[in-house]
Amino acid sequence: MSFGPSQLQTIENVRPQKGDDQVTDGPESAFRAYLQAIETLDPEKALPFYHLPSMFIAPHGVFPVPDTNTARALLSQFMEQLRGQSYRRTEVADLTVRNLSPDLASCAGTFVRFNASGKEIARVGFTYTMRRAGSWKIVVAAVHDPVAA
């Protein structure tokens, strides 16, 4: 399955506009800011986006994240894998954001990852549940096969 350019959104091109509190303070804005933090490959930049405790679900297992040290270790391992692929950036295909309640939302779609030479290196489906606890934070991060459109 392939996606055309119109279905992909680069993180940089969809930054929220200043002064638009509804966009800036919403789950989608927080999700996109999290992706920008991931692109730095610095675990410390991504840590503030996680609600603790939280949970990470992947095809190879379920990982409870009870504290900052566990979150840091999981993020460090993930970012090291990305470095090994010469990772550079992520685009998002078919993003769907659903408000489940005033303080709970889900963000789902497909991550399309690219290396430093611009070659696609991975397509990964995702479903993130986010909770507003002062700011929007990831409570459950699930990665899975991309969902067929």
Q: Where are the domains of the chain?
A: 5-144
pLDDT at 147: 84
pLDDT at 149: 61
pLDDT per residue as tens digits for the range 4-41: 443 343 333 333 333 333 334 799 999 999 999 999 99
45's CB contacts (< 8 A; 6+ apart) are: 37, 38
The correct answer on CATH 3.40.50.720 for the domain covering 5-144 is no
pLDDT per residue as tens digits for the range 36-90: 999 999 999 999 999 999 999 999 999 999 999 999 999 999 999 999 999 999 9
Q: How many CB atoms lie within 10 A of CB 30?
A: 22
**Furthest-apart CA atoms within the chain: distance in Å:** 42
pTM of the model as a whole: 0.81
Three-state DSSP class for residue 148: coil
